[in-house]
Structure 1
C-alpha cells in the first residue's frame, strides 16, 4: 500500500533542509558544482582547439578516427572511474601523488569522462561547418592558429551549447566519482553519490533535497541550450 503521507513528509523535510540552508547539503552542492565545472573547463580548453584542428584537417584514417571517437563519446562512467583508480592507486603509476579519494581525483575522472564528448561534438561541428570559415580565413591570409580562433568566434554559440551539454553529463554521473572519490563525508561527497547512498539508507529527505537541486540545475542547463539553439 502506498503511504502518501510518508512521501509528502519526505518532500516537506527536503524543502526545510533547502530553505534552512543546511550546511551539509550546500557543501555537497558546491563541491559538485566545483568538480564538474573544473573538469568541463579543463577538458574544453584542450578539446575545443584540438577538435577544430582535427575537423578541418584531412588526414589518413579520418573515418576510422571518427568512428572510434564517437564510440568513446558514450563510454560508461564506471569504466573511466576504474581506469583513473588504477592509475592513482598506491601501486599505480601516479600513486606517489596521493590523489586517490580527493576532489582532484574526481576532477580528473570527470575531465576524462567528458573529453570524448567535447572533442567529438567539436570535431563534428568543425568538420561540417569549419571548412567554409577556413577558406575565408585562408583567403584573408590567416595562419593555422588564426583560423582556429576565427572558427571559435564564428561557432561560439554552438560550442557553448556543446560545453553546457558536457557539463550536464559530468554533474549527473555517479560511477566515476564514486570509485575515485569514495563518497567520504565532508570531503568527496557530491550530489549523485549522496543520493545513491541516502536512498540505500532510507534517508529520503536529503536524497529528495539534492534531487530537487539537480532538477533545478538540469532546468537551467536545458534553458541555456534551448535559448541559444534558437528553439521556441
Structure 2
C-alpha cells in the first residue's frame, strides 16, 4: 500500500515540477499515438464506409478479416513491421526501424481494423432506406456518404476512441519497433515496463498514473465531440 501511495505522490511531484524527461516521454506518447489514430481514422472510416455501402463477392470474408484484425496481437504487428523495416528487410533501405515513425506505422496497423470494423457496423446499422431517401432528395453520392457518417457519428466516434485507447496503451509493438531509446522512442508504456523491471515501482506507478490522467483528458475531449448536438 505504501508503494502505491508513494507512486501516486511521485506522479504529482513529477507533473508539478515539470520534469523534462517525463514531459518529453508524455508528449512523445501522445504524438505517436495521436498520429497513428489520425491515420487509422482516415483509412478506417474510408474502408469501413466502402465495405458497408458496397456489395461485392467475398464481402463476408472481408468483414471477417476486419473483425479478426480488431483483436490483432500487438506483438504480432511488431514482429512483422520489424521484419519489413529490418536492415536486410524489404523496406530496410528507409532506415525507419527504432524510430518514432516505425512506432506510428505499427500503431496505425493496430488501430485501423478497430476503426474499420466499428465503422462497418455503424453504417450497416442505419435504416437501409435512409440512403435511398437521401439520394431521392437530390444528394450526390459523396453528400450521401457524409450524411450517413453524420447520422452514425456516435458509434464512429466510439470507434475512434477505441482505436486511440488500443494504441496509447500498447507496449509490445512499441518496444519491438521503437527500441525504448531514451530521449527518442521511449513512451509512457515502455518506460513503465522498464521501471517495473528495475524494481522502481514508485516511478512505474507514477508513469501509469500520468498515462491514465492524460488518456482520460483526451477521451473526455473526444466524448465532448461525440456528444455534441446529440439528437433528442
Cα deviation code 1:174-202 (max 9, x no counterpart): 01111000000000001100000000001
Contact 1:168-1:221 at 8 Å conserved across structures: no
- Picking from 164, 178, 182, the partner of 2:179 is 182
SS at structure 1 position matched to 2:126: helix
Bigger mean CA deviation after superposition, 128-137 or 183-192: 128-137
Unpaired runs of at least 5, structure 1: none
Higher alpha-carbon deviation: 138-147 or 77-86: 138-147
SS of equivalent residue, structure 1 residue 129: coil
- The answer on 1:42 being equivalent to 2:39 is yes
Match of 1:30 in 2: 27
* Mapped contact 2:123–2:149 kept (Cα < 8 A): no
| Matches of 1:61 and 1:206, distance apart in 2 | 50
Which residue in the other structure is 2:188 paired with? 191
Counterpart of 1:16 in structure 2 is: 13
Contact 1:17 1:206 in 2 (8 A): no
SS of match in other structure, 1:18: helix
Deviation larger for 80-89 or 136-145: 136-145
* 1:113 and 2:110 are equivalent in the alignment: yes
Q: TM-score, normalising length from structure 2?
A: 0.89
- The equivalent position to 1:93 in structure 2, one of 74, 90, 94, is 90
Pairing 1:15-164 to 2, within 5 Å after superposition: 15-129=12-126, 131-164=128-161
Contact map agreement 1:25 1:206 (CA 8 A) in 2: no
> How far apart are residue 13 of structure 1 and its match?
2.9
Q: What is the TM-score normalised by the length of structure 1?
A: 0.89
1:224 positional shift: 5.6
CA distance in 1, matches of 2:158, 2:3: 40
For structure 2, the residue ranges without an aligned partner over 5 or more in a row are: none
RMSD: 2.0
In structure 2, what is the equivalent of residue 204 of structure 1?
Answer: 201
CA separation in 1, counterparts of 2:218 and 2:194?
A: 25
